[in-house]
Amino acid sequence: MTIEFETPKPVENARFLLQTVADNMMRPVSREMDENEHEIPYGYVEFMHTAMKAMGGGSAGSLAPAEEKKSADPNKPKRPSVAYQVLANQLEMLSWGDVGMYLITPGGGLGAAAVQAAGNAEQREKFLARFNGEKPTFAAMCMTEAGAGSDTSAIRTRAVLDEATREWVITGEKIFVTAGDKSFNEHPEFGKGFIVVWASIDPTAGRAGMRSFVVEAGTPGVKVTKLEHKMGIRVSDTASITLDAVRVPFENILGSPTVEKSTTGFKGAMATFDATRPLVAATGIGVARAAFEEVKKMLAEQGVEIRYGLPRQKLSSIERDVIDMEIMLKSAWLLVLKAVWMADNKQPNALESSMSKVKSGDIVTKITQKAVEIMGPLGYSREYLLEKWFRDAKITDIYEGTGQINRLVVARQVLGYSGSELR
């Protein structure tokens, strides 16, 4: 397996545009957005919606890459896709700007990723096309429940088919839904979004009975009951959602409507995570890079030079800390690049996906904590963004599968054990 380290042109173009966005639209209001939780920066949202449409295909907020365009010349060699590599770079740069604001970038989020991973061609065309409409549009994935966090196979939300009307009737409650309010509640400024609800069509079948359903905004019986007040990523809404005998069309199920012996439905969920975990890891690396670069800048302003190339015993303690931060940052980024390169090349990447997520969640916490520690009172002060990045960092290790769960995934992949054999 050969991975090219030369940056593809589409990646360079994406980073150039989003560097400008991060510098001029995110950093200047980062503190204000943190102080005013759940306030929506409409100017940023509108600009990013227009910009992502102009760039073509999947928006930075969608976590779902654009469909590859087929060449008119059948004899022309097919170029390898770089869609996931572009997305990883987009998300890293936007998160360097402000990870909370990145999370309200218009697009499909995990909801679109679920449709992309588990939906058929008709469903992808119907639901994903709306993100290129006139208004900014959002989608969300509803998986976590009070009794089913990291163990997604323990979901209790139920979907029953009404044979008379050929509709699915869904009942349950979901918590910690990123962008749940903007995706389901109808806002005049936004297009019609949707939520993807994970439910069981046969609780006796265990994982084989798990399926996901697209529930469109405004559907009767769905209610956003709570918005969480959080330590970090405060501009992003994180919602609790109840579903009371909610009726959705038969064709809104993602995957087969029949229960087989295989765990197809559960594998659909895991396929979503294999695609998105490296991208979430990229967001953590963006936060870590922001803290690392700010520390180097602040130290340089105080006359502290990092002397690369000297033996460690000749370096000061601060120099060793900064160099170690950089090593962690670059090694984590290489894991992300490998995982998204494999996704682009249609190679199974469950191991690499979880490894990148574990590493990113680990290093972003360590780097932001060390940044606050090195700068002391300045790092702890709200005058600077270091303390905010420290608060924003920890979520990387929690959502999209906790660090503990992803370590289990890695162990199972390396040792060849099933989920029931190694828990």
Active site residues: 400
- Residue whose C-alpha is closest to residue 190's, from 107, 101, 94, 126: 107
Instruction: Return the closest-CA partner of residue 390 out of 401, 379, 400.
Output: 379
Cα–Cα distances in Å, from 271 out to 70, 188, 361?
Answer: 24, 34, 20
Integer Cα distance of 253 and 119 in angstroms: 8
Query: How many Å is the Cα radius of gyration of the chain?
Result: 22
* Beta carbons of 154 and 183 less than 8 angstroms apart: no
Answer for the pair 149, 162: CB distance below 8 angstroms, yes or no: no
Which pair of tokens denotes residue 409? 């995934």
User: CA end-to-end span of the chain, whole Å?
Assistant: 31
Q: Return the ∠ at Cα 346 (arms to 342 and 349), rounded to 5°.
A: 45
Q: Alpha-carbon distance 85 to 189, whole Å? A: 31
From CA 392, how far away is CA 45, in angstroms rounded?
20
Write the DSSP assignment of 242-275 as a string of letters.
EEEEEEEEGGGEES-SS--SS-HHHHHHHHHHHH
Nearest to 212 by CA among 84, 103, 340, 120: 120
**Strand-strand pairing, 139-142 and 194-200:** parallel
